[in-house]
Chain A
Amino acid sequence: MLALRKKKRDFIGTSAIWLVRILFFSLVLALFLLLGKIVSQGIGTISFEFIFDDPKNNMTEGGIFPAIFGTIAVTLIMILLAVPLGVFSAIYLNEYAKDSIFSRIIRTSINNLAGVPSIVFGLFGLGFFILFIGRGMDDVLKTGLLFGQPALIWASATLAVLVLPIVIVSTLESLNSVPKSHRDASYGLGATKWQTIKNVVLPQARPGILTGTILAISRGAGETAPILFLGAAFFLPNLPVSDLCIGDYCIPMINPAKQFMYLAYHIFILATQSSNPTKTLPIQYGSTLVLIVLTFLLNITAIIFRYRFRKALGRL
């Protein structure tokens, strides 16, 4: 006869499920406690002035606008550098490179690059971008000390290297997930390899590429260590902006040669080098909240883009 009688409960199975549940809820709880603390302590500080004003009185008063602006500027330039480089590298690795020992070493290295501590990237940026490339350019172009000093562009470049593995890996995955049958269809219609990649593979891979970009933004905006030596300033009320003039028309543009303030670094400064901890503490919470909200907003924008692309693929 079939064993219809209720069996003695599978003790291990049930306890495993409960364990998973408890762990999950403790994670959610921890997240809420953390966010709740920051929100509740920080929300009081947030005001129009806090967001749009410069720090004052040795950072015990005033706002954090230069830091917000610097963060956005650095992240933007980082994305402009990292996404094309990462996406094209991934296209090369996935579509063109033959499966050889060499290409496997490169793939493994990319994955390993993601695990390198960020301070190492900072030192790399200082050594490679500022001292080697920057000073090299100064020597060659006879400009004096212009490129070979900490600047926004070098910070962005270093962060771009830092987030490159994220962009490459997520692009690789999304390229890989485009069905071979779609490529066959394209080749069968007489498309060249590049036409196939451009018209069939990339449109389908776009949501995945955006996922990589989202992750890269969050990572980049939150990093402190790599930009320590690369132009992040302790206090700098002037925005890294210069007027770009064509004839008589001038538009304010981000000047990548200048130094900048950075939210994550600003928080670090407030926490470690404050002249008056009681007064800076609320500012510190406020800055943290702003940083979190900022990355959240950047993420949301990217998620909306990704959703649009997905929808375009799915339903049109």
Chain B
Amino acid sequence: MKEIKIITKNLSLFYGDKQALKNISLEIQDKKVTAFIGPSGCGKSTFLRVLNRMNDLIDNVKIEGEVSVDGVNIYDKNIDVVNLRKNIGMVFQKSNLFPKTIYENIVYGPKINGIKDKKTLDEIVEKTCIQSAIWNEVKDRLNDNALSLSGGQQQRLCIARALAVEPEIILMDEPASALDPISTAKIEELIHDLKQRYTIVIVTHNMQQAARVSDMTAFFYIGELIEFDRTTKIFTNPSIKQTEDYITGRFG
């Protein structure tokens, strides 16, 4: 029943001499929302970036261990990183829309993948905007600068842009941390809808958010994976004391 999408085995990551992730092994299920929680600097964002090899862009990063997506080791020498990132979309903490129109932002991914047909692109824009619940707000202003949207709208547009390359997995790095409660609620609702089709991994500081949106929760602390279980279990009956201390707010 449970299909596993991503597996990491004994994954360690070093920034120069500093070890940022220690021996992390976990399995992320297909079409489920997996949340990573933990205090700042615990390595949850770093771990997220391991999954689509965004850490490759930083000098002096060394990775040991294994990460496989659909049974394929993504750190294998023969892996095309560019293709990998097409399959694993990413939404960042702060909206990072390009200073282009709304339309151009969404078609950026499809265009670099060689889609030129205007009609196809139009369809992609409409489809992804509907999927990311922003269509009604942008359909009349697709040629406006994307940066003229509000913060929450920008973040949903970022999600639409990520969906436009048709990924299977979406990584979200604190997607709602800079948003007001209403926009946050919209994003959470959206995550709920998206998990029908996509495997979602979300990093969040907000424990209520993790409890609300995720099926599985992983608790990280100083580069280690402390506990990984069903979200209901983590938040009601954690097996490890550190986890309990964290979710009850005794530290972090």
- Output the least CB separation between B150 and chain A (Å): 17
Q: A188 contacts B85, CB within 8 Å? A: yes
Report how far A183 CA is from B96 CA in the complex, Å. 9
Which residues in A have their C-beta under 8 angstroms from that of B54? Answer: 184, 187-188
Q: Which of A144-192 contact B (CB under 8 A)?
A: 179, 181-192
- Partner-binding segment picked from A24-32, A295-303, A308-316: A308-316
Is A199 part of the binding interface, using a Cβ–Cβ cutoff of 8 Å? yes
Which residues in B have their C-beta under 8 angstroms from that of A189? Answer: 85-86, 89, 108-109, 112, 161-162, 164-165
Which residues in A have their C-beta under 8 angstroms from that of B99? Answer: 204, 313-314
Known: A313-B99, A314-B145. A187 touches B94 (CB 8 A): no
Is A200 part of the binding interface, using a Cβ–Cβ cutoff of 8 Å? yes
Report how far A313 CA is from B90 CA in the complex, Å. 24
- Output the least CB separation between B123 and chain A (Å): 18
Is A58 part of the binding interface, using a Cβ–Cβ cutoff of 8 Å? no
Q: B59 contacts A98, CB within 8 Å? A: yes
Which residues in B have their C-beta under 8 angstroms from that of A98? Answer: 59
Report how far A184 CA is from B52 CA in the complex, Å. 11
Is A143 part of the binding interface, using a Cβ–Cβ cutoff of 8 Å? no
Q: B85 contacts A181, CB within 8 Å? A: no
Q: A190 contacts B82, CB within 8 Å? A: yes
Most buried by B among A190, A195, A315, A316: A190
The A interface is mostly helix, strand or loop, or mixed, namely helix
Report how far A204 CA is from B57 CA in the complex, Å. 20
Q: Which size bracket describes the interface of B in this complex?
A: 20 to 34
Q: Which residue of B lies closest to A188 (CB)?
A: B90
Which residues in B have their C-beta under 8 angstroms from that of A199? Answer: 108, 112
Is B143 part of the binding interface, using a Cβ–Cβ cutoff of 8 Å? yes
Q: A316 contacts B145, CB within 8 Å? A: yes
- Output the least CB separation between A278 and chain B (Å): 59
- Output the least CB separation between A95 and chain B (Å): 11
Report how far A204 CA is from B97 CA in the complex, Å. 13
Q: B162 contacts A188, CB within 8 Å? A: yes
Q: B112 contacts A179, CB within 8 Å? A: no
Known: A199-B108, A199-B112, A314-B145. A190 touches B96 (CB 8 A): no
- Output the least CB separation between B58 and chain A (Å): 10
Q: Which of B82-140 contact A (CB under 8 A)?
A: 82-83, 85-86, 89-90, 92, 94, 96-101, 108-109, 112-113
Q: Which 8 A-B pairs have the closest CB atoms?
A: A190-B86, A181-B96, A188-B90, A189-B109, A185-B96, A190-B85, A316-B145, A313-B99
- Write 24 A-B pairs (CB below 8 A) sorted by A numbering: A179-B96, A181-B92, A181-B94, A184-B54, A184-B92, A185-B96, A185-B98, A186-B108, A188-B162, A189-B85, A189-B89, A189-B109, A189-B162, A190-B83, A190-B85, A190-B86, A190-B109, A191-B108, A192-B112, A200-B98, A315-B145, A316-B100, A316-B143, A316-B145
Residues of A participating in the B interface, judged by any CB pair closer than 8 Å? 98-99, 179, 181-192, 195, 199-200, 204, 313-316
